[in-house]
Amino acid sequence: MSALDSPSPTPSLLEVEGLSKSHAGIAAVRDVSFAVPSGGALGLVGESGSGKTTIARLVARLESPDSGRIVFDGTDWLALRGGSLRRKRRDLQLVFQDPQTSLNPRMRAGDQIGEPLRVQRIARGAAVAQTVVELLAEVGLDPSIARRFPSELSGGQRQRVAIARALATRPKLLICDEPVSALDASIAAQIVNLLLSLQHALGLAYLFISHDLAVVGRVAPRVAVLFAGRVVEEGPFERVAARPLHPYTAILVASVPSFEAGPRVLSTPPRGARSAAQGVAAPSPGCAFAARCPIVRPRCREEEPPLALVEADRRAACFYPGELSAGL
């Protein structure tokens, strides 16, 4: 089943198919496909090194893929050049992990929020200043914040400024790359709630990237799980969390303390999970997860399982889907 053959009647705003990228001969992303519906959200979850940020950079065209196809808002996204690309960029914006590094320390917050308005020629002069005030209010900040430098703001305030800057061009899609991982738990919850309210008010679509399955579940009704640069499971979040099909997903679910997945709670990692969750295996002739999998069989070391439809609206790259979850 192709990511472009969406099971949902909602049309896709973003369609990614067969995306691959290598760095210095090492595969960072391998044959990744997914879709984000208009006004909806898809979560990408996986540990550090799984390829999440590379995918974000490829979709945002900060890097070019080695192969694959990206269709954004009905347009061949990879074919756009020059002025056409610049104009279309206003419809796709990013919110990065750490606002302390993504914001310019030498520019006042208001100037940074207003910069996309000037670059995209959306507003000039007094209209920029007025729009900045409106954007600050939209993210729950006082207009006085516009005069401050990032160093004068708290972590939560900086991330709200970064979100306001991303909203300045009124995008259709926000790529949120670990947007709350640099914040403490209470502030992170506030930012997640802000993103949800903005989605409802503005009809935004999110590609929400995180290592935290619980956070993804707050934002995205559908999730794709990444391991070693490849999607190993995809499906509706509630069903994936309640009964993971891939062993790696089962380990992610079990690693969340007291994480409620439907009718049951996985609070203790299954046998072998501790070693399985450490690091990302290099691609091999067999399954990339084989060296760390608690239920590995000889076939797993010899063949790479395809990402295949296992049940309605769910895909997994495993020869024995659901077996680890069934034994918990």
pLDDT in tens, 115-136: 999 999 899 889 999 999 999 9
pLDDT classification of 272: cutoffs 50, 70, 90:
very low
Least confident of 21-25, 167-171, 259-263: 259-263
Mean pLDDT value across residues 194-203? 96
**Residue-level pLDDT at 268:** 39
The candidate with the shortest Cα–Cα distance to 207, out of 11, 38, 82, 322, is 38
**Residue-level pLDDT at 258:** 47
Residue 269 has pLDDT above 60, yes or no: no
Percentage of the chain modeled with pLDDT above 90: 74
**Residue-level pLDDT at 9:** 57
Residue type, position 164, single letter: A
Mean pLDDT value across residues 176-188? 90
pLDDT tens digits, residue range 219-257?
A: 999 999 999 999 999 999 999 999 999 999 999 888 876
Mean pLDDT value across residues 278-290? 68
How far, in Å, are 190, 249, 283, 303, 325 from residue 291 at the CA level? 39, 15, 11, 13, 19
**Residue-level pLDDT at 101:** 85
Stated pTM of the model: 0.87
The candidate with the shortest Cα–Cα distance to 70, out of 10, 29, 127, 119, is 29
Mean pLDDT value across residues 52-71? 96
Q: Please name the residues in contact with 138: beta carbons below 8 A apart, sequence gap of 6 or more.
A: 164, 167, 198
pLDDT classification of 276: cutoffs 50, 70, 90:
very low
- Average of per-residue pLDDT values in the chain: 88
- With beta carbons less than 8 A apart as the criterion, state whether 328 and 266 touch: yes
